[in-house]
Structure 1
Amino acid sequence: MQGFIVIGVIIGIGYLAARANVGGPTAQMVLQRFAFFVATPCLMFTLISKENLADVATYILDDPAAVTPIVLMQQVIFTPMALTALDISTTGKSSFAATAKQLAHQPILIGVLCGIIVSAASAGTGVFLVPQFLYDPLNIVGQAAVPLILCAFGMSLRGARPLANREGRQATITAAALKNAFMPAVAFALASALGFTGHNLYACVVLAALPSAQNVFNYAARYNAGTTFARDGVLLSTICSPVCILAIALLLN
Structure 2
Amino acid sequence: MIGVLQGFATLAAVIGVGFFLAHRRIVDADASKVLSTIAFNVASPALALTLIARTDVTQVLSRQLLAIVVGVLVPVAVYVAVARLVWQRGLGDTVIGAFAAAYVNGGNLGIPVAAYVLGNATYVVPTLLLQLVVLTPFGLMLLDHDAARRRGTGGIGWRRALVRPLTNPLTVAMIIGVVLSLTGTPVPAVVGAPLEVLAAMAVPSMLLSYGVALRLGGGFGSGGSRAEIALCSALQLVVQPLVATLTAAYLLGLEGHALFAVAIVSALPTAQNVFTHATRYGRGQLLARDTILVTTALCLPVMLVIAAVLG
Q: Decide whether aligned partners of structure 1 residues 133 and 187 sit closer, same or farther in structure 2, where only a CA change above 3 A counts.
A: same
Deviation at 1:64, TM superposition (A): 10
Deviation at 1:76, TM superposition (A): 1.6
Does the 8 Å CA contact 2:241/2:266 hold for their aligned counterparts? yes
Are 1:110 and 2:114 matched, yes or no?
no
Match of 2:148 in 1: 91
Does the 8 Å CA contact 1:32/1:148 hold for their aligned counterparts? yes
C-alpha separation between the residues in 2 aligned to 1:58 and 1:241?
25
Match of 1:43 in 2: 47
Moved over 6 A (4+): 58-61
1:1-253 aligned at under 5 Å gives the runs 1-57=5-61, 65-92=122-149, 93-121=155-183, 123=184, 128-159=185-216, 160-164=218-222, 167-193=224-250, 194-253=252-311
1:65-119: CA deviation from partner (whole Å, max 9, x where unpaired): 5322322221121111111111112211141343034212211111110111122
Identity of aligned residues (%): 32
SS at match of 1:139: helix
What is the RMSD computed on CA atoms of the aligned residues? Answer: 2.1
Q: What amino acid maps onto 2:215 in structure 1?
A: R
C-alpha separation between the residues in 2 aligned to 1:129 and 1:232?
39
Structure 2: segments with no counterpart, 5+ residues: 66-119, 150-154
Q: What amino acid maps onto 1:44 in structure 2?
A: A
C-alpha separation between the residues in 2 aligned to 1:36 and 1:64?
25
C-alpha separation between the residues in 2 aligned to 1:31 and 1:21?
16
SS at match of 2:123: coil
C-alpha separation between the residues in 2 aligned to 1:64 and 1:157?
30
Q: Across the two proteins, how many residue pairs are aligned to each other? A: 246
Structure 1: segments with no counterpart, 5+ residues: none
C-alpha separation between the residues in 2 aligned to 1:58 and 1:170?
36
1:179-218: CA deviation from partner (whole Å, max 9, x where unpaired): 0011111111011021222221111101111101011111
Q: Which moved more, 1:194-203 or 1:206-215?
A: 194-203
Q: Tell me which of the two structures has the higher relative contact order, counting C-alpha pairs closer than 8 angstroms and 6 or more residues apart.
A: 2
Does the 8 Å CA contact 1:59/1:69 hold for their aligned counterparts? no
Q: Decide whether aligned partners of structure 1 residues 189 and 59 sit closer, same or farther in structure 2, where only a CA change above 3 A counts.
A: closer
Deviation at 1:25, TM superposition (A): 4.2
Q: Decide whether aligned partners of structure 1 residues 199 and 57 sit closer, same or farther in structure 2, where only a CA change above 3 A counts.
A: same
SS at match of 2:215: coil
Q: What amino acid maps onto 1:95 in structure 2?
A: G
Deviation at 1:24, TM superposition (A): 4.3
C-alpha separation between the residues in 2 aligned to 1:190 and 1:27?
43
Q: Which moved more, 1:86-95 or 1:240-249?
A: 86-95
1:158-190: CA deviation from partner (whole Å, max 9, x where unpaired): 14311245x410011011011001111111101
C-alpha separation between the residues in 1 aligned to 2:121 and 2:253?
12
Q: Decide whether aligned partners of structure 1 residues 212 and 154 sit closer, same or farther in structure 2, where only a CA change above 3 A counts.
A: same
TM-score by structure 2 length?
Answer: 0.74
